[in-house]
Chains A and B, each alone.
Chain A
């Protein structure tokens, strides 16, 4: 033993075990929530379309993200755009996790969650606000959604709104398909879109 450099011994003498740190992190998340400084809470859930990141502000669910979107990148974007006061805090996402689990289990047809739509602005937001009008198990073409949103010629802009939907699954952009009946693109990948449509058709 080298007693000249005490640093490793000191580090061992004052341990910081992972289990204790995660307990302290949970306590911090609860205190931050209580003090109103938890601007963004997040957690991930498993689903038939892969792990989903869920994030919520005090106003409501602000983001659902597929793994293909890179969850770390999504969190960094939220930190920059909304607030860096962000913690892994599953509690605020309990209702969202429960409703999504019911949805994926085939027991829920519409979501009753408070939504924070501030990541979508202008016409994109208008489009998203009309998507819940396409009922569970139904689809609509991009052109039909353009009509619903009051700009019948803005078919391409509807495509962009769906491709940048910050709340996929919950705001059902997967129900928007091509006029020829093919599923079209999807921010979670075409396989995820087909999975959701098959789930709703069952």
Chain B
């Protein structure tokens, strides 16, 4: 019996992907907390994880739940404001594709954002994405496609702008 690899190896192998996913779904400000909560919960449960489990899908599933917790906690803390702050995507400046794409993703509806993050950033197949989000793999694929279509329009606009 070789047994499970040390949890440190799990952090080393998947820490980066989970951080990208947390940043995409929550934004940079709350991503660190979600990452920490995710790996702490994962470490607690690690001895009981079946040896043949897909570790990355398992971690993204935990991250998804932790992101919901963090969002709820933030909503409870939030003080209502009279005026909604302006769309930050406009502040990123021309030619900053990374920042613009990040902002554009942040503005997607939650399901589209999550489907894009879990499929494109974490590389999970739509069957796994569907298991996390609920609904069918086809619905997960549609949500990701809708999200990507909007991001592509943003990318195209920036592309034109920088080509001018």
Contact = CB atoms under 8 A, between A and B. Distances in A.
A binds B: yes
B6 A75 contact: yes
A88 B10 CA distance: 12
Contacts of A24: 15, 19, 32, 35-36, 39
Contact of A28 (B11, B97, B120): B11
Interface in B128-163: 148, 151-152, 155-156, 159
A3 B36 contact: no
Given A7-B120, A31-B40, A85-B43, A79 B6 contact: yes
A86 B50 CA distance: 17
A9 B47 contact: no
Contact of B121 (A3, A10, A35): A10
Given A35-B44, A37-B44, A14 B5 contact: no
A192 to B, nearest CB: 25
B120 A10 contact: yes
Interface in A20-41: 20-21, 24-25, 27-28, 31-32, 35, 37, 40
Contact of A84 (B1, B6, B105): B6
Contacts of A42: 8
Nearest to A87: B8
A179 interface: no
Contact of B11 (A3, A6, A13, A87): A87
Most buried by B among A25, A28, A78: A28
A93 to B, nearest CB: 14
B143 to A, nearest CB: 15
A31 B36 contact: yes
A70 B156 CA distance: 51
Contacts of A10: 24, 101, 105, 116, 120-121, 151
Contacts of A28: 11, 36, 39-40, 43
A42 to B, nearest CB: 8
A86 B6 CA distance: 5
Interface in A72-107: 75-76, 78-80, 83-88
Contact of B19 (A4, A16, A76): A16
B11 A25 contact: yes
B122 to A, nearest CB: 11
Contact of B5 (A11, A15, A76): A76
Given A16-B19, A40-B6, 16 more contacts: A6-B155, A7-B121, A10-B116, A10-B151, A13-B99, A14-B24, A14-B102, A16-B17, A16-B23, A37-B40, A37-B43, A76-B5, A80-B3, A83-B47, A84-B47, A85-B7
